[in-house]
Amino acid sequence: MSFRRHGNSGFTLTELMLTIAVLGTIVAIGLPVMTDITAATKLSEASRTVEREFQSARLKAVSSNRVLRVRTNCPAPGYIRTVELLGTAADTASNRCVQTAYPFPPPDTEITTRPNLDGPVRTIPNNATVSDVVLQFAPDGTVTQVVGGVPTVIAAPVTVTVTRQSKSKSMTVNNIGKIQLQ
């Protein structure tokens, strides 16, 4: 009687080490690429948040027939808020972005009481910052830039820049209310 010996069906140590080395190389090459993709995604998310705030303010100004302002870095860098124009000194008050002074939602929802359309203070996600700008949206959908508390007609589109970790993305807003994310 003779016995035939069948080959071992396992892996040798050399084969396992070679496989681990190849996988390690692939991971080392792919990690920086994945990091860049993640950073770009986070910047895009922050940019879309700012763009949506502008779009929402424009639509709300038209639908409510009221003038609204979007204030960036309100009350501090990394925040944004839409506030209703009151036509008083409160429009340029330093506490206009403080929710305790101008709460959201308003305590009185009577349509004649103002401000009724102040939005919440929103955090721009992922530790992103935005250039300092105040845009005023009129009931007809047009836009002016507020400089020193005074609405100024936009001759050329206003560029708003969102920055995160030394990378930035910009959007433009023109005087007829077109908001375009670059």
- Exposed/middle/buried for 12, CB within 10 Å: 0-12, 13-18, 19+? exposed
- 96: pLDDT strictly greater than 80: yes
Residue 148 has pLDDT above 90, yes or no: no
| Per-residue model confidence (pLDDT) at position 4 | 60
Structure token pair of residue 136: 């005023």
Instruction: Look at 1-10, 117-126, 155-164 and tell me which has the smallest mean pLDDT.
Output: 1-10
Tell me which fold the domain 13-181 belongs to.
minor pseudopilin epsh fold (3.55.40)
Q: Residue 56 and residue 119: Cα distance in Å, rounded? A: 10
Taking the C-alpha atoms of 64, 70, 76 and 78 in order, what is their torsion angle to the nearest 10 degrees? Answer: 110
Alpha carbons within 13 angstroms on the beta-carbon side of residue 22 total: 6
DSSP E strand stretches across 86-166 = 122-123, 129-130, 134-137, 143-147, 150-153, 158-164
Can you tell me the distance from the alpha carbon of 46 to that of 122, in angstroms, rounded to the nearest whole number? 11
Q: What is the pTM of this model?
A: 0.79
**CB distance 62 to 143 below 8 Å:** no
- Average confidence (pLDDT) over 144-172: 93
**CA gyration radius, the chain:** 27
pLDDT (mean) for 81-110: 86
Share of the chain above pLDDT 70, in %: 93
The fraction of the chain above a pLDDT of 90, given in percent, is 58
Q: Where are the domains of the chain?
A: 13-181
Q: Report phi then psi at 28, rounded to 5.
A: -65, -35
Stretch 30-52: mean pLDDT, rounded? 85
Whole-number Å distance between alpha carbons of 81 and 37: 29
**Alpha-carbon span 165 to 127, nearest angstrom:** 8
In three-state secondary structure terms, 179 is strand
Contact indicator for 140, 61 with CB cutoff of 8 Å: no
Q: Is the pLDDT of residue 26 over 90?
A: no
Q: Could you report the per-residue pLDDT of 45-81, keeping only the tens digit for each?
A: 999 999 999 999 999 999 999 999 999 998 999 999 9
pLDDT, residue 78, reads 93
pLDDT of residue 44: 93
Cβ atoms within 10 Å, residue 3? 5
Q: Is the peptide bond before 75 cis (omega within 30 degrees of 0)?
A: yes
